[in-house]
Amino acid sequence: MRLAVIGSGYVGLVTGVCLADFGHSVVCVDKDPAKIAALNAGRMPIYEPGLSDLVAENVAQGRLAFVTELGPVVAQAEAVFIAVGTPSRRGDGFADMTYVREAAQEIGRSLKGFTVIVTKSTVPVGEGDVVERIVREIAPGADFAVVSNPEFLREGAAISDFKRPDRIVIGVDDPRAEAVMREIYRPLYLNAAPILVMGRRTAELTKYAANAFLATKITFINEIAELCESVGADVQAVARGIGLDGRIGSKFLHAGPGYGGSCFPKDTLALVKTAQDHEVPLRIVETVVAVNDSRKRAMARKVIRACGGSVRGKTVAMLGLTFKPDTDDMREAPSLAIATGLQDAGAKVRAYDPEGLEQARPLMPGVDFAADAYACAEGADAVVIVTEWNAFRALDLARLRAIMATPVLIDLRNIYEPETARRHGFCYTSVGRPGDGPALSA
C-alpha cells in the first residue's frame, strides 16, 4: 500500500520504517529540512537500537523515502499517519494539539480519492472529531475517514514492539477504513497479534489509560520502597512476591528514582486535565503525578544523606542521564532534578551517559561531562547510578573504588547486591533494600 507518515520524530520514524519493512511503500514527511537531509544521508535524529540499519535497508529497497513537501505525498497515499508531537501545553498541562491540527489542515488541502487519516500521535479524547471537522471544512467534498491507531512503543525496544505488538488498537466507525487498517497490519497475522476494533474516542482513551496505569505501578512500588527502607524490608522481594500474582504482573515493579520520558509525564497530565474538564477528577492519577514529581526531587536528598548530610564542595559523579537505557531521550529524566538538587546543595556534578550527552548538555548547565564511566568517577566523593545502562551493570568495582576520593556508591536502580558493593569497600546505598551502609573492613 502507499502510505504517508507526517512527522519523523520517535513515533513517526519508527512507524514509517516498520511499515516499509512490512512491504508497504512509505514516505515520511517532516517540515524540518535539516532533519530530512540528515535522514537521507543516513543519520538518525534519535538513538534507537537497530533503527539506522532498518532505515538503510528499506531506503535501498525503494520502499522508504524522506521529503519535506506534504501535498504530493498525501495526494497519492491510501492512508496518511499523523505522528507529530503533542507536548504538554504551558500553563495547564493539557496536550498541545497545534501540530496535529496543522497537519490536518495540510492533509485537507491535498486529498484525492478515498483516504484514511490515521492519528498515531497521542491525542486527547475527541481530537479525532476535531481532525475530521478541520479536514471537512477545508475539503467539503473529500472522501476520507479518520481513524485512531495509538502507539504502544517502548523507547529502546520500539522496533520489536511495533513488529511484535501485544495488541493493535484501531478506533474506527467506517467499514472501508477498517478494511484499509487491517490490510496495513496484515503482515503481522503470523504473530497472531490481536486487532482490537473499537470506537474512535474509546481508542484515544485506551492509550491514556494504559500509560496512566503503568505510571501508577511505577509510583506504587516506589512508595513501597520508601516503606521498606523504614521497616527493614526488601522491595525487590516484595515486588517478586506480588508480581507473580497473575492479576498484578511483574512488569513496571522496579523501584527507582521515578518515571520520566516523552510519554508518562505528559500523558498523565493530559488525562488529568481531560478528566477535570469533564468534571470527573481522577484522584489516583493526580496523586501519581504529584508523588512522581516529589520522588525525583527526593533522590537528590537521598544522595546528600548518603554523603553524610552535606555535599557542599564535594564532587558527585552521575552515571546515566537518559530517563531509561537504550535511548538518548532526556525528556523529564530524573537525572535533571537530581543534578539540580545536588548543585543547589553546593556539589560539583560530573556526569556520563553512553548515548545522551549531546541531548543533556543544554539541559544541565554547570555540569561537567565525562568521556566514560571511569573518567566520570575519578576523584569523585560519590558515584550515583541513575540509569541502568548495561555498561554500568558490570563495572570493575575494585578499579572504581581505587580512583574515587571517597568510596560512596548510591545505586538508584538496584543493579548491584549490597554485599558485593560493601565487599569491594563501598559505603553503599540502594532503593528499598536492607544491607545499605558502611563498607566492610578490608
Mean pLDDT along residues 8-26: 96
Per-residue confidence (pLDDT) for residue 439, from 0 to 100: 63
Statement to judge: residues 168 and 301 lie in one domain: no
DSSP-derived letter for residue 352 is: E
67 and 192 share a domain? yes
Q: How far apart are CA 302 and CA 271, in angstroms?
A: 30
* Per-residue model confidence (pLDDT) at position 442: 37
User: How confident is residue 412, by pLDDT bands cut at 50, 70 and 90?
Assistant: very high
Residues pairing with 147 in the sheet: 118
pLDDT at 434: 87
pLDDT score at 441? 44
**Cell 543547589 found at:** 344
Do both 73 and 187 map to the same domain?
A: yes
Question: Does one domain contain both 316 and 185?
Answer: no
In a domain, residue 386? The reply is: yes
Position of cell 488525562?
271
Q: What is the mean pLDDT of residues 347-359?
A: 97
Residues 35-63: what's their mean pLDDT?
96
**Average pLDDT, integer, range 434-439:** 74
What is the arithmetic mean of pLDDT over 10-25?
97
Residue among 335, 430, 425 nearest 386 (CA)? 335
Helix (H, G, I), strand (E, B) or coil at 368: strand
Query: Would the pLDDT of 435 be above 80?
Result: no
Task: Please identify, among 182, 198, 214, the residue that sits at the C-terminal boundary of a domain.
Answer: 198
Strands across the sheet containing 408-411: 368-369, 348-352, 315-319, 382-385, 408-411, 427-429
CA–CA dist 150, 360 (Å, integer): 29
Q: What is the set of active-site residues? A: 263
Between residues 252 and 89, the one the model is more confident about = 252
- Does 241 map to a domain? no
In this structure, the answer to whether residues 66 and 168 fall within a common structural domain is: yes
Residues 165 and 298 occupy one common structural domain: no
Q: Is residue 233 part of a domain?
A: no
Question: Buried b vs exposed e over 326-363: b needs ≥16 C-beta within 10 Å?
Answer: bbbbbbbbbbbbbbbbbbebebbbbbbbbbbbebbeee
The reply to whether 192 and 306 lie within a common domain is no
In a domain, 209, yes or no: no
Question: Is 87 contained in some domain?
Answer: yes
Asked if residue 30 has pLDDT above 50, the reply is yes
Average pLDDT over residues 28-33: 96
Q: Which helix (H) or strand (E) holds 402?
A: helix 397-403
Instruction: Decide which of 299 and 442 is more confident.
Output: 299
Q: Is the pLDDT of residue 438 over 80?
A: no
Whether residue 257 is predicted with pLDDT greater than 50 in this model: the reply is yes
pLDDT of residue 27 exceeding 90? yes
Which residue is it, cell 565487599? Answer: 423
Is the same domain home to 304 and 419? yes
The pTM for the full model equals 0.92
Is the confidence at residue 90, as pLDDT, over 90?
no
The reported pLDDT for the residue numbered 220 is: 98
Q: Write out pLDDT tens, residues 159-176.
A: 999 999 999 999 999 999
**How many structural domains is the chain composed of?**
2
In a domain, 251, yes or no: no
Do 22 and 168 belong together in one domain?
yes
* 188 and 55 belong to one structural domain: yes
Of 167, 198, 229, which marks where a domain is finished?
Answer: 198
Is a pLDDT exceeding 50 seen at residue 19? yes
pLDDT at 184 over 90: yes
CATH number of the domain that residue 390 is part of: 3.40.50.720
Residue 303 in domain: yes
Q: Is residue 277 part of a domain?
A: no
Q: What pLDDT digit, counting tens, does each position of 108-157 carry?
A: 999 999 999 999 999 999 999 999 999 999 999 999 999 999 999 999 99
Structural domain boundaries enclosing 44: 2-198
- pLDDT bin (cut points 50, 70, 90) of residue 440 is very low
Domain boundary among 172, 198, 224: 198
Question: What does pLDDT average to over the chain?
Answer: 95
Is the model's pLDDT at 20 over the cut of 50? yes
Query: Do 29 and 151 share a domain, yes or no?
Result: yes
Residue 139 is placed in which grid cell? 475539503
